[in-house]
Amino acid sequence: MSEPGQELLHLVWGKKAGPRGLADTIFCRWAQDSLTIFCCIVRETKTYLIFKGFVFSDSESTALEQFEGGPCAVIAPVQGIENIKNEIEDATEPLIDPVYGHGSQSLINLLLTGHAVSNVWDGDRECSGMKLLGIHKQATVGFLTLMESLRYCKVGSYLKSPKFPIWILGSETHLTVFFAKDMVLVAPEAPSEQARRVFQTYDPEDNGFIPDTLLEDVMKALDLVSDPEYVNLMKTKLDPEGLGIILLGPFLQEFFPEQDSRVSESFTVYHYNGLKQSNYNEKVMYVEGTAVVMGFEEPMLQTDDTPVKRCLQTKWPYIELLWTTDRSPSLN
């Protein structure tokens, strides 16, 4: 194997020799019980990661079936091995966990966006003098994670609001797919959504507020009037108690009041889980349902409280789901 190919294998799998190497059982799981071949092809400046070998479900002609986890079929163009190493926060850690075999967030981001950054927020952030890389543009396919509902992270709008209504859903151990046909779900962001995203870039710890000294920067970033006198007037109005902070809610209400959501009240959705044991009657099929997005905190319709629903609520806080099957689809 060529040197770049060998280097790429080490980057993905880790070096098998040594206590931190990838166990044979983990490699076989990702290799689909030896039915899958992991290939590295280096052509000029582009490298392609190819996981080949899969079967289609007998119950759904276009649904891929997984064996014990691992990939079904992935082709990911990568702009050079060195770029991957520069994007990963800890380049010594392989893209696939050598103990449990889970794909890292860097691997997920690499497959979704072509960049192996380790974080899911919008843009880059500074932390104690260290630059932490995030997502820099709207993804074609989105990503939502149960970890956000547990407050371990916060996914930015570039992954939450992709170009197409398709989202990868992440649990602690598995990835599934949630999608719809209604393109209204991914319409260009409203001014209030843009304002929320910009405000949160100045609130990296997700406190829900910023120091009042940053108000002028936020207003400039949103092309709002930012004359010093007007900014001081807004500081007084948005922070009447003089606490030195600007809350997100009052800021949005002041500059972007009562903007209607562009999301349909209800829409048909589908969920896909490639593991047989996670499907009803162990038949890998798309599960169809109806999503109802209520616009207020006390929805009259309340369905079950499942991991899939909690994951989706990180994007649609008041979503309710009515599935056509007797059992709600599994996130694991």
What's the confidence (pLDDT) of residue 36? 42
- Structure confidence by residue, pLDDT tens digits, 232-254: 999 999 999 999 999 999 999 99
How many whole angstroms separate alpha carbon 140 and alpha carbon 2? 32
DSSP H or E stretch at residue 270: strand 266-272
**225 pLDDT more than 90:** yes
**157 pLDDT more than 80:** yes
Of residues 9 and 299, more confidently modeled = 9
**146 pLDDT more than 90:** yes
Q: Where residue 170 falls among pLDDT bands split at 50, 70, 90?
A: very high
How many whole angstroms separate alpha carbon 30 and alpha carbon 104? 13
Place of tokens 């056509």: 324
Q: Where residue 287 falls among pLDDT bands split at 50, 70, 90?
A: very high
Mean pLDDT of the chain: 80
DSSP H or E stretch at residue 49: strand 46-52
**39 pLDDT more than 60:** no
- DSSP-assigned letters across all residues of 94-131: -SB-TTT-PBPHHHHHHHHHS---S--SBS-EEETTEE
Q: Is 225 left (phi over 0), alpha (psi -120 to 50) or beta?
A: beta
Mean pLDDT, residues 249-266 taken together: 77
Lowest mean pLDDT among 91-105, 207-221, 278-292, 311-325: 91-105
**10 pLDDT more than 90:** no
How many whole angstroms separate alpha carbon 160 and alpha carbon 67? 28
Q: Which residues does 199 contact at the CB level (< 8 Å), separation at least 6?
A: 210, 218, 248, 251, 252
SS3 76: strand
- DSSP-assigned letters across all residues of 164-225: SSEEEEE-SS-EEEEEES-GGGGPPPPHHHHHHHHHHHT-TT--SEEEGGGHHHHHHHTT--
Q: Which tokens go with 171?
A: 């649990």
How does DSSP classify residue 260? P
Quick one: what percent of the chain has pLDDT higher than 70? Answer: 76
Q: Mean pLDDT highest for which of 91-100, 231-240, 252-261, 287-296?
A: 231-240
What's the confidence (pLDDT) of residue 18? 45
What's the confidence (pLDDT) of residue 258? 66
